[in-house]
């Protein structure tokens, strides 16, 4: 993940550090503002490395090393939401790293300032689940490995990581409400008036019935209800018969 040079007294002034590919694991919690998001991340990185000193005479000096970082990072990210399930994003973070390093029979633990840059792609599986894959450049201020024979070995501590993660979003936004129901179409209504105690149709009533017939014929097919009414004058049985005669008069005119 990184290749750096450390100043080491007694070994020609320099040692090259050649790390092997390491591994990292961690977790995060944050808040999504739908676009910008912030998160607090805890992550552990582990690397094995080989130290190779400048040749002394004909002999090349090599030694093993182990470098572990436990970092707490505050990150700010930005999602480029383009209406796709795949979301590009970038980010940056800063925090502290607890660095443990051992080499040449010595070891040290120190707290360093840490920083990182992030670029990646996210895939929204559904409203709650998201899969991310990103590349990160992570670095700290320079730690030192202390050795009783040669003193301190100060080195550059940085690496490039490829990370995959799965996220679960708590309290996801509710789905949009369903579309409103289509408006209820009220069928047209026509009113015909009769003279007192009469069921015959006046010319004005016939004109209204013709308008009703034209409106329903334009629909191609229609169900029509004719309802007759009277006032409260006279016996109920007579009024019932009169209202029925009026309704039938309208029905017959519509049929005609």
137 assigned to some structural domain = yes
Which of 27, 37, 32 has the alpha carbon at shortest distance from 127? Answer: 32
The answer to whether residues 90 and 202 belong to one domain is no
More confidently predicted of 207 and 225: 207
Q: Indicate whether 2 pLDDT > 50.
A: no
109 assigned to some structural domain = yes
pLDDT band at residue 60 under the 50/70/90 scheme: low
- The first and second tokens of residue 62, run together, are 């090599």
- Predicted confidence (pLDDT) per residue in 175-217, tens digit: 678 888 888 877 777 888 888 888 888 888 888 888 888 888 8
Question: In this predicted structure, what is the pLDDT of residue 121?
Answer: 96
Please list, in sequence order, all residues whose beta carbon lies within 8 angstroms of the beta carbon of residue 27, skipping any fewer than 6 positions away.
Answer: 41, 42, 43
Number of domains the chain is built from = 2
The answer to whether residues 154 and 231 belong to one domain is no
Q: Average the pLDDT over 2-19 and give the result.
A: 53
Question: In this predicted structure, what is the pLDDT of residue 253?
Answer: 87
CATH code at 164? 2.40.160
- The first and second tokens of residue 204, run together, are 């004005």
Helices 203-219 and 236-255: crossing angle, nearest 10°? 60
Contact 16, 3 (CB under 8 A): yes
Q: Indicate whether 7 pLDDT > 70.
A: no
176 assigned to some structural domain = no
Domain that holds residue 202: 181-256
Average pLDDT, the chain: 83
The answer to whether residues 141 and 186 belong to one domain is no
More confidently predicted of 150 and 80: 80
> Please, how many CA atoms are within 13 Å of residue 92, restricted to the half-sphere of its CB?
1
- Predicted confidence (pLDDT) per residue in 73-93, tens digit: 999 999 999 888 999 999 999
Question: In this predicted structure, what is the pLDDT of residue 39?
Answer: 96
The answer to whether residues 187 and 123 belong to one domain is no
Neighbours of 245 (CB within 10 A): 15
**Strand ranges (E), the chain:** 4-6, 15-19, 23-32, 36-53, 62-79, 86-103, 106-124, 129-140, 144-147, 151-154, 157-168
């Amino acid at each position: 993940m990184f290749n750096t040079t450390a100043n080491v007294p007694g070994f020609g002034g320099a040692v090259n550090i050649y790390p092997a590919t390491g591994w990292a694991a961690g977790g995060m919690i944050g808040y999504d503002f739908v676009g910008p998001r912030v998160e607090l991340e805890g992550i552990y990185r582990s690397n094995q490395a080989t130290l190779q000193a400048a040749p002394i005479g004909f002999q090349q000096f090599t030694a093993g090393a182990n470098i572990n970082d436990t970092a707490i990072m505050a990150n700010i990210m930005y999602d480029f939401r383009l209406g796709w399930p795949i979301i590009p994003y970038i980010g940056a973070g800063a925090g502290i790293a607890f660095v443990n390093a051992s080499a040449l029979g010595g070891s040290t633990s120190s707290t360093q300032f840490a920083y990182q840059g992030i670029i990646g792609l996210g895939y929204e599986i559904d409203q709650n689940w998201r899969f991310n894959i990103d590349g990160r450049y992570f670095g700290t201020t320079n730690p030192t490995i202390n050795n009783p024979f040669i003193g301190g070995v100060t080195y550059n501590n940085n690496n490039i990581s490829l990370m995959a993660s799965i996220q679960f979003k708590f309290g996801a936004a509710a789905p949009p409400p369903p579309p409103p129901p289509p408006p209820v179409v009220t069928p047209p209504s026509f009113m015909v008036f009769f003279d007192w105690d009469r069921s015959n149709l006046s010319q004005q009533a016939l004109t209204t019935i013709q308008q009703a017939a034209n409106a329903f014929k334009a629909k191609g097919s229609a169900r029509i209800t004719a309802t007759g009414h009277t006032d409260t004058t006279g016996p109920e049985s007579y009024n019932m018969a009169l209202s029925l005669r009026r309704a039938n008069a309208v029905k017959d005119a519509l049929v005609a």
